[in-house]
Amino acid sequence: MNQQRVKELLQEALQENESLYLIDLQFLSDNKIKVIVDGDLGVPLSECIRISRKIEHNLDREEEDFSLEVTTPDIARPLTVNRQYKKNINRILQVKTATEEFEGTLTEVTEDTITLQWKAREPKPVGKGKHTVEKTITLAYQDIKEAKVKIIF
């Protein structure tokens, strides 16, 4: 399997639509190629078909047989690319670091960090009872072990 040729064809297909980006490219056993793409505005089925055809029609099945799957990341898959974070601003994320877990609304994304915001009930500084406080944390990508969009029905 000419992996470099597949990568080139995939890159050409992605360049035809600037809103699409690669999440993962896998070369599996039995010459199976798995491509996972996402988009700033989502990925219509027609784009998956277009990418698949771009790759498939430019590889020779006579030379080497293969199977090709072009898909989008499923909802339970963790975020891995900066553009995925940007796409999910104002959504609730569940984020795990090496020592803690956070759940909050993604409010800001930079090249190196994300910012989450949430409300928490804490004891009052004076007197009995609790009050609601606004919490914010900024996390560096390197500290994030896993980040998923919380699914709300």
**pLDDT grade, residue 65 (50/70/90)?**
confident
pLDDT of residue 1: 65
Query: Average pLDDT over the chain, rounded to whole?
Result: 93
**pLDDT grade, residue 126 (50/70/90)?**
confident
Model-wide pTM > 0.85: no
Least confident of 12-26, 50-64, 76-90, 91-105: 50-64
Distances in whole angstroms, Cα of residue 19 to Cα of each of 59, 72, 82, 111: 25, 13, 13, 18
